[in-house]
Amino acid sequence: MLQLFYGRDSLRMDEYYLEFRKNYSEIVPIENLFPQTVEEKLGTTGLFSEKKLFVFKNIFAKQIRLGKVSQNLDQLLKVLARFSDRAILFIEEDEKKLKYYKQYFPNILTKEFKVSQVLFTFLDSFKPGNFADCFRYWQKAQLTDAPELIFFLLKRRLRELLAVRQNELRGNYQPWYLAKLKSQSQAFETAKLLKIYHSLFNFEVGQKQGIQPLKVSQALETIIALNL
């Protein structure tokens, strides 16, 4: 059975996945995407193959150019289609890749982990001189999304803004989204962006080391108040 978990709410997806994997006696992450290697691994499962879960993560990353899937991945997906009797799970962060999964696996079972629109509005509103609107959207976002997810996506947005400022942004971005990033990045001085990003990074390190007294929500509110 082929299944797909997809969406940007990585926290809820991880929680669901941890419960889901308990149905299997063995989890087999697949990182080598060479078609022949994967075919051999899936074809030599032995007894109780139904108790194994084969997991692929973000397999379309850097594999699509001008709307076309790379030759290697195309061959791999055609191999996987022949093993639909195996327990195969795809985990995909980019919801825009759903159409490619459907293209190769029309009957794949899907479960979406969607981030609320207000969270994206909060991310867009994060810029100097916009404290009132940004804080209001932050409060609304907390009603539907975990502070940890908001923290993660804000850190990623800041990383994108820094990459735009330094002409180092990599990946397939839609023109409208790229224009939005450029506009938002221009609202900041580079030094300011670096300062905020390092604040988030240092908080995360302190939290992992158990020396950070603030909660995630408190840290975010402090960063908003001090920098906008």
User: In the chain, where are the structural domains located?
Assistant: 2-112, 117-227
Residue of 189, 4, 186 whose CA lies nearest to 95: 4
pTM to 2 decimal places: 0.74
Length of the chain: 228
Q: What are phi and psi of 200, to 5 degrees?
A: -65, -45
**pLDDT averaged over 10-residue windows placed end to end, the chain, 228 residues:** 92 92 91 89 66 92 86 93 91 92 94 92 96 96 91 94 91 84 95 94 89 91 94
Class of the CATH domain delimited by 117-227: mainly alpha
CATH 3.20.20.140 fits 2-112, yes or no: no
Span 191-215, pLDDT tens digits: 999 999 999 999 999 988 888 888 9
Span 115-149, pLDDT tens digits: 899 999 999 999 999 999 999 999 999 998 889 99
pLDDT of residue 108: 95
